[in-house]
Structure 1
Amino acid sequence: MQRTERLFALAEYLRGRRTGVTAEVLAERFGVTVRTIYRDLDSLRASSMPVSAERGRGGGYALDRSYSLPPVNFTAREAALVVALGRFAIDMRLMPFAGTLESALDKVRAALSTSAQRELLTRLRELAFIGVPSLPSKKPVREALERAWFEQQPLRITYVDSNFLETVRDVRVMSVIMNRHETRVDGEDLTTGERRHFRLDHITRAEVLRAAGP
C-alpha cells in the first residue's frame, strides 16, 4: 500500500471508530512501524484533519467524528433521481469510476427511512433509460485511472492505437471525457509534453506512479 493510499485508509479507519486506538494497533493493522504511524498522524494533522490523542481507558488516537460531510436529507423523489441516473451511468459504462459510484448510491439508499426506501423502489421501476453502452474497459485500468486522477499522480499506461501499435506512456490525467459510446482520457505525455486523448477501452494496462519530488 502506497503512503497516499495508506493516509486515506488511516483517516477512514479512525473516522469509523467510536473510541481511540493506539499507535501500536494502527502499526499492526497497516503493516508499518510505530514510527511510520506517528509520521502519518502528523501528516493528517498538517492537512487540517482533527486528529487528537485521548488518555485513559479506550484512549489513543481518534479523529473528530464531525469531520465528514454534513447530514444530507434526501426525499424519496430526490434519491430516486440520483440513484436512477447513477445506475444509468454504471449500466452504460459512462463513468469509469463505477465502484466508487456504486458505494455512493448505496449510501444514498441507506440514508432513507424504510418507507422512503419502499417509495424509492416504486419510483425506480417507473424510470427507464435506453441507450447504447460505451465500449467496455478493464477494471484494473479504471481503478488506476481513478486513483491517478483523484490523487493527482502520474499514470503509466499501455496503449493500443487504431493500427494495433502498442506503446507505453507516462501521462498526467488532465480530465476525463465521456460521451454515449466511449470514454476518453485527456492526458499530458510527461516525456514529450504533448497533450492528447486516449480511449479508455484502448488502454490495456495502467499503473499509478509516484509524483516526482521537488
Structure 2
Amino acid sequence: MQRTERLFALAEYLRGRRTGVTAEVLAERFSVTVRTIYRDLDALRAAALPVGAERGRGGGYALDRGYSLPPVNFTAREAALVVALGRFAIDMRLLPFTGTLESALDKVRSALSTSAQRELLARLRELTFLGVPSLPTRKPVREALERAWFERQPLRITYVDSNFLETVREVRVESVVMDRHETRLDAVDLASGERRHFRLDRITRAEVVGP
C-alpha cells in the first residue's frame, strides 16, 4: 500500500471507530512500524484533519467523527472553465501530473447533470488551444515524480545529460519548474548535497525511495 492510500485508509479507519486506538494497534493493522504511524498521524494533522489523543481506558488516537470534506457544487459555466483549463494544461503538458488531473476532470464532469454535460461539451468545442507543448516525458517517470513530490519522499532517477552520459542519482525534489517547452526539477542531490536542475524529459527511469 502506497503512503497516500495508507493515509486515506488511516483517516477513514479512525473516523469509523467509536473509541481511540493506540499507535501499536494501528501499526499492526497497516503493516508498518509505530514510527511510521506517528509520521502518518503528523501528516494528517498537517493536512488539517482533527486527530486527537486521549488517555485512559478506551483512549488512543481518534478522528473527530463530525469531520468531512464540504461538498463543492459547480455550475455548468464554472465546470466548463475548470475542465477547459485542465485540458489546456494536459494538452500543453504544463503539468507532469496528468493522470491525477485527468481523474479530477472526470469527477467534475461526472458530477454534472446530463444537460449540463452537453452544454459543457458544446462550449469546449468552441475553445482552441494554441502553443507549443512541453517536451514529452514517460508516464512511469511522471507518476513516480508525483508521488515523491506530494509525499516528500526521495526519488531515485536515471538521468541522461546533454553529453548522453547516463547516471543514477537519489534526489530530494524541492520544486517543479515549468518553463515554456520544458519541465525541470529543482532538486538536491542526496549524495553530494548539491542543488541541481534536472530536465524531466531526460529522466529515463524514476522510483520513489521511501516507505
Normalised by the length of structure 2, the TM-score is: 0.75
Residue 183 of structure 1 pairs with residue 183 of structure 2: yes
In structure 2, the CA distance between the partners of 1:159 and 1:42, relative to structure 1 (3 Å rule), is closer
The CA distance in 2 between the partners of 1:87 and 1:204, in whole Å, is 25
Deviation at residue 142 of structure 1 after TM alignment: 0.5
Q: Which moved more, 1:5-14 or 1:180-189?
A: 5-14
Matches within 5 A, 1:161-176: 161-176=161-176
* Percent of pairs with identical residues: 67
Deviation at residue 111 of structure 1 after TM alignment: 2.0
Report the secondary structure of 1:73's partner residue: coil
Deviation at residue 91 of structure 1 after TM alignment: 1.4
Amino acid across the alignment from 1:7: R
Is the CA contact (8 Å cut-off) linking 1:158 and 1:168 kept in structure 2? yes
The CA distance in 1 between the partners of 2:193 and 2:114, in whole Å, is 54
In structure 2, the CA distance between the partners of 1:203 and 1:38, relative to structure 1 (3 Å rule), is closer
Correspondence for 1:56: none
Correspondence for 2:7: 8
Correspondence for 2:108: 108
Matches within 5 A, 1:43-122: 47-48=44-45, 49=49, 64=65, 66-68=67-69, 70-122=70-122
The CA distance in 2 between the partners of 1:76 and 1:160, in whole Å, is 45
Deviation at residue 100 of structure 1 after TM alignment: 0.3
Is the CA contact (8 Å cut-off) linking 1:177 and 1:183 kept in structure 2? yes
In structure 2, the CA distance between the partners of 1:63 and 1:87, relative to structure 1 (3 Å rule), is farther
Which consecutive unaligned segments of at least 5 residues does structure 2 have? 18-26, 52-61
In structure 2, the CA distance between the partners of 1:184 and 1:125, relative to structure 1 (3 Å rule), is same
Deviation at residue 85 of structure 1 after TM alignment: 1.2
Is the CA contact (8 Å cut-off) linking 2:11 and 2:63 kept in structure 1? no
Correspondence for 2:124: 124
In structure 2, the CA distance between the partners of 1:202 and 1:35, relative to structure 1 (3 Å rule), is closer
The CA distance in 2 between the partners of 1:63 and 1:128, in whole Å, is 46
Which consecutive unaligned segments of at least 5 residues does structure 1 have? 21-31, 52-60
Report the secondary structure of 1:131's partner residue: coil
The CA distance in 1 between the partners of 2:90 and 2:109, in whole Å, is 16
Correspondence for 2:196: 196
The CA distance in 1 between the partners of 2:31 and 2:64, in whole Å, is 18
Amino acid across the alignment from 2:210: R
**Count of paired positions:** 188
Correspondence for 1:156: 156
Deviation at residue 64 of structure 1 after TM alignment: 4.4
Is the CA contact (8 Å cut-off) linking 2:50 and 2:67 kept in structure 1? no
In structure 2, the CA distance between the partners of 1:35 and 1:97, relative to structure 1 (3 Å rule), is closer
Deviation at residue 209 of structure 1 after TM alignment: 0.9
Report the secondary structure of 2:169's partner residue: strand
Is the CA contact (8 Å cut-off) linking 1:88 and 1:129 kept in structure 2? yes
Is the CA contact (8 Å cut-off) linking 1:94 and 1:133 kept in structure 2? yes
The CA distance in 2 between the partners of 1:5 and 1:80, in whole Å, is 29
Deviation at residue 34 of structure 1 after TM alignment: 4.1
Q: Which moved more, 1:200-209 or 1:85-94?
A: 85-94
The CA distance in 2 between the partners of 1:184 and 1:36, in whole Å, is 35
The CA distance in 2 between the partners of 1:123 and 1:89, in whole Å, is 17
Deviation at residue 144 of structure 1 after TM alignment: 0.6
Deviation at residue 108 of structure 1 after TM alignment: 1.2
In structure 2, the CA distance between the partners of 1:197 and 1:112, relative to structure 1 (3 Å rule), is same
